[in-house]
Amino acid sequence: MIRAAALAVFALGVLTGAGAASAAGEVRIGSKKFTESVILGEAARLLIAETGAIVRHRRELGGSRVLWNALIRGDIDVYPEYTGTLRAETLAGLGLKDDAALEDALSARGLRMSPPLGFNNTYALGMVESRAEALGIRRISDLLAHPNLRLGFGNEFMDRADGWPALQRRYGLPHADVRGLDHDLGYRGLRAGDIDVMDLYSTDAEIAYYGLRVLADDLGHFPAYHAVFLYRADLARRAPEAVAALTRLAGRLDDRSMARLNGRVKLEGRSEAETAAEFINATLGLGLEAQAASLWARLWAATLEHLTLVAVSLGAAILVSIPLGVIAFRHPGPGRVILGIVGAIQTLPALALLVFMIPLLGIGGPPAMVALFLYSLLPIVRNTHAGLHGIDEPLRRSALALGLGGRDRLFRIELPLAAPVILAGIKTSAVINVGTATLGALIGAGGYGQSILTGIRLDDTALILEGAVPAALLALAVQGGFELAERRFVPRGIAPQSRMA
Amino acid sequence: MLTLHQVAKRFGDTAALHPLDLTVAPGRTLVVIGPSGCGKSTLLGLMNGLIAPDGGTVHFDGRELTAETLIPARRRMGYVIQEGGLFPHLTAGANVTLMGRVLGWDRDRIAARLGELSALTDFPADALDRYPIELSGGQRQRVGLMRALMLDPDLLLLDEPLGALDPLIRFELQAELRDIFRTLGKTVVMVTHDLGEAAFFADTILLMRAGRVVQQGGIDDLAERPADPFVTRFMEAQRGRWDGRGAGGGG
């Protein structure tokens, strides 16, 4: 049994390792979990694919820190980044003065960046055009004359060192009515007249959509956030044509164009791939086609990814948990430790467990499988222990009195008697696993969670349902499957009474 | 066959069995009797090592029971408990033949032994495929007995084997069981709290009270030469049961 457990761990290692190895020949692009980053990721994918290289885009992997770490580890080769973010956040400790210093710091870490794409997605302040016109406000300095204006800022902007606190000091802004709110809600508040001024990302599609005036940063407070493709230096050796492809958009994508592309996706509901292809074709005179996968193709791919996550993690969990439950039952001392540890793992929020895996195993399927594996242990270990513990004393005595050795007692008597309880534990684990696996998309593991994640970003209910409905159906199917297995494998003698008739 | 030397057992603060010497003679039937909590089931458990003694030694067929000798010894001791203690996930037949399979007997040998045993215990062949929950109480008891006899043990230990049966079935089974013991010539140790049953089966009766042996002997010894007033009281309390007069007690 110990051997079976070791085998399971080994198999998990091989499977997860194989996942990483299969990606070695391809160029892997990552993107952050907001629309602009996904569009740029798609643009990179299309341009690199055009060179004939095998390329894969893992969308919406997370925030800047996750993408940066994934790039450093080599889980991905390329992702779109902003120079301001690198200088002011990621490498803030280095106090980099300009982009030349940034390039040196990057190459010291085995990274390079492409020439800037053109646009500068910096922070800005915005007002409704008509109101700004009426008050005669064009620049941020003009706000000094209107101390009674109501300011609403995104929560991140309120907190960031280069956000509101620094802006207020730099311009000496006297405003007292300042509140933090969700960035997307800010636009609605502005239109409804609940607030007068909000923070903007300068390439937000909503600027044009809501008819906003962007106030000039006349004191030059906000740093430049030039968009670049950040890539690993070894990519230039492995796939020089891919690196060359990344430079083709250099200087071709200005603020207005980027805002327009964002609008295509966020406001008009077009796909990121289509939007990126249209722009590339118009700009570079190419004839790229973004083959949008059909609903069924997407569902099939997501189902395969999801089932792989569940099958590998649950299979390994079963092979490890049952021996652990047996050990916990046979040796009460170590048993308390085992039950305590697997119980403690279960108290970690699934999301936290997934995120803990990133520094250890990077992003993608393997860390998600390990997190799901850990998460699936408790119900099976606990039910194995409880099932063995619940065997009637006379049966236990009979097994001993017959002269059965420990191994025969376990495999011929105890485990079969505990089987219904153990199966119930596996069923619980499986259903939890199917649901929790949707969170795997947050660290790039794909599956049904990917549609849910994209749907939330684009506020697209149909897309959310495209992930949520199959996930729910799969959970039901798994539950039904285990009930069938119970009928098949649990002997009549210990089946629930309802089936005896 | 079985020799207990200064065997004692405590459960917490209570002495379940005071130090005791006992020899079980081969081919004879010893019945251990006494009121609830007298230590009779503890005594039986000590004989096949289900209960480890706090002191003293148990020898089976000349060898001391230790961790190493326990499993081979148990395979030579059949053990039957109330309701048979049958494994609910195995059919009647699979319960009986379990040890044959564990020991790697071939199919024919297992089938032949099963045939012998079901003939011996008068168990219907078509019921062998049923699970314990689908059998009557009497049938379960027969399966329990067959399972205990599977390896043709030298010694049979029975802990209130008929205790859960209704009186009519019990009456029939008592007769059958005694015939079987006589046919096979086994050494038998049986625990019961029923004096009528003890008298019916025993070559020797061991009467216990509060963890001690009060008297050992034939039923006539106990009736005519009681070693202690308790023996008389115990006999009186149960007498009605076996001479057919008065209210039935203890049944």
> For A403-429, how does the pLDDT look when each residue is reduced to its tens digit (9 = 90+)?
999 899 999 999 999 999 999 999 999
Residues of A in contact with B81 (CB under 8 A): 394, 397-398
CB contact under 8 A, B50 and A419: no
Mean pLDDT of A241-262: 89
Interface contact flag, B71 A401, Cβ < 8 Å: no
* Residues of chain A with C-beta less than 8 angstroms from the C-beta of B132: 493
The string of pLDDT tens digits covering residues A59-73 is 888 778 888 988 998
Q: Do B87 and A413 touch (CB under 8 A)?
A: yes
Q: Name B80's Cβ contacts closer than 8 Å, sequence gap at least 6.
A: B141, B144, B145, B147, B148, B156, B157, B158, B159, B161
CA distance B227 to chain A (A): 34
Q: Distances in Å between the alpha carbon of A468 and those of A15, A303, A456?
A: 26, 12, 12
Kindly report the pTM of this predicted structure: 0.76
Residues of A with CB under 8 A from a CB of B: 394-395, 397-405, 408, 412-413, 416-417, 419, 491-494, 500
In angstroms, the separation between the Cα of residue A397 and the nearest Cα of chain B is 7
| Contact at CB, B85 and A398, closer than 8 angstroms | yes
| pLDDT tens by residue, B5-14 | 999 999 888 8
* Contact across the interface for A397 and B85, Cβ inside 8 Å: yes
Q: Is the pLDDT of residue B190 over 50?
A: yes
A1/A92: higher pLDDT: A92
User: ipTM score of the complex?
Assistant: 0.89
> With an 8 Å Cβ cutoff, is B98 touching chain A?
yes
Nearest to B98 among A397, A400, A402 (CB): A402
Task: Report, as an integer, the average pLDDT of B221-250.
Answer: 72
- Asked if residue A23 has pLDDT above 60, the reply is no
Q: How many Å lie between the alpha carbon of B69 and the closest alpha carbon of chain A?
A: 10
Q: Which two tokens stand for residue A382?
A: 């606990």
Residue corresponding to tokens 């779109």 = A80
Cβ contact (<8 Å) for A403 and B74?
A: yes
Residue A22 has pLDDT above 50, yes or no: no
pLDDT category of residue A498 using cuts at 50, 70 and 90: very low
- Average pLDDT value for residue range A208-230: 88
Gap between the Cα atoms of A392 and A113, Å rounded: 68
Rg, C-alpha atoms of chain B: 18
Is A398 in contact with B157 (Cβ distance < 8 A)? no
Q: B87 in contact with A at a CB cutoff of 8 Å? A: yes
Distance CA A41, CA A77 (A): 12
More confident residue, B193 or A425: A425
| B243 pLDDT tier (thresholds 50, 70, 90) | low
Facing A412 at nearest CB: one of B48, B88, B98: B98
Whether B87 and A405 lie within 8 Å, measured CB to CB: no
Whole-number pLDDT of residue A20: 44
Give the number of other Cβ atoms within 10 Å of residue A440's Cβ. Answer: 28
CB-defined contacts A:B, below 8 A: 67
List the structure tokens of A104: 């040196």
Residue B205 pLDDT greater than 90, yes or no? yes
Helix (H) or strand (E) holding A451: helix A449-458
- Which pair of tokens denotes residue B160? 């209130």
Cβ of B50 and A397 within 8 Å?
Answer: yes
Among A311, A305, A272, A312, residue whose Cα is nearest residue A448: A305
Pairing of strands A55-62, A27-32: parallel
> With contacts defined as CB-CB under 8 Å, which chain B residues touch A408?
102
Whole-number Å distance between alpha carbons of A326 and A410: 9
Residue A179: beta bridge partners?
Answer: A152
Query: Distance from first CA to last CA of chain A, Å, rounded?
Result: 36
B221 interfacial to chain A (CB closer than 8 Å)? no
What's the mean pLDDT when you consider all of chain B?
Answer: 88
Tell me how many degrees the CA angle A71-A264-A256 measures, rounded to the nearest 5: 80
User: Are A417 and B98 in contact (CB < 8 Å)?
Assistant: no
**pLDDT over threshold 50, residue B247:** no
Give the model's pLDDT for residue A66: 83
> Who's near A133: CB < 8 A, 6+ residues apart?
A213
A336-364, pLDDT tens digit by residue? 999 999 998 888 888 888 878 877 887 78
Instruction: For residues A143-167, give the mean pLDDT.
Output: 85
pLDDT digits (tens, 9 = 90+) for B147-174: 999 999 999 999 988 877 888 888 888 9
**pLDDT for the residue A324:** 94
Provide the pLDDT for residue A321. 94
Which positions in chain B touch A421 (Cβ < 8 Å)?
none
Q: Of B87, B91, B95, which to mutate for an interface test with A (greatest number of A Cβ within 10 Å)?
A: B87
Please report, for residues A62, A73, A74, A303, A497, the alpha-carbon distance to residue A363 in angstroms, rounded to integers and kept in the order given.
10, 9, 10, 19, 47
Which residues of chain A lie closer than 8 angstroms to B71, CB-CB?
A: 403-405
- Is the pLDDT reported for residue A21 higher than 60? no
**pLDDT number for residue A2:** 54
pLDDT for residue B191: 94
- Has residue B179 got a pLDDT over 80? yes
The answer to whether residue B245 neighbours chain A at the CB level (below 8 Å) is: no
φ/ψ of A258, rounded to 5, equals -65, -45
Residues in A closer than 8 angstroms to B98, CB to CB, are 402, 404, 412
What is the layout of strands, in order, in the sheet containing A178-181? A178-181, A151-154, A197-201, A123-128, A212-215
Paired tokens of B185: 């010539």
Residues of chain B neighbouring A401 (CB-CB closer than 8 A): 48, 50, 74, 77, 79, 157
Judged by CB atoms closer than 8 Å, whether chains meet at A492 and B131 is answered as yes
Taking an 8 Å cut-off on Cβ atoms, the answer to whether A417 and B89 are in contact is: yes
* Averaged confidence pLDDT in chain A: 86
Backbone dihedral angles phi then psi of residue A148, each to the nearest 5 degrees: -90, 0
Question: Does pLDDT of B102 surpass 70?
Answer: yes
Contact A493 B132 (CB under 8 A): yes
| Helix extents (H) in A109-182 | 129-135, 155-159, 164-171
**Residue B132 near chain A (CB below 8 Å):** yes
Please give the Cα distance from A457 to A34 (Å, whole number): 7
Percent of chain A with pLDDT over 90: 39
Q: What is the pLDDT of residue A40?
A: 93
Chain B from 39 to 78: CB within 8 A of any A CB: 48, 50, 71-75, 77
CA A392 to chain B, closest CA, distance in angstroms equals: 9
Q: How far is B151 from chain A (nearest CA, A)?
A: 10
Query: Would you place residue A157 in the very low, low, confident or very high pLDDT band (cuts 50, 70, 90)?
Result: confident
Distance from CA of B152 to the nearest CA of A (A): 12
Q: Which helix (H) or strand (E) holds B156?
A: strand B155-159
Nearest CA to A456 among A467, A471, A444, A472? A467
* Residue A9 pLDDT > 70: no
Residue A312 has pLDDT above 90, yes or no: yes
A44-58, A303-317, A370-384, A450-464: which range is least confident on average? A450-464
pLDDT single digits (tens) B120-138: 888 999 999 999 999 988 8
pLDDT digits (tens, 9 = 90+) for A183-201: 777 888 888 888 999 998 8
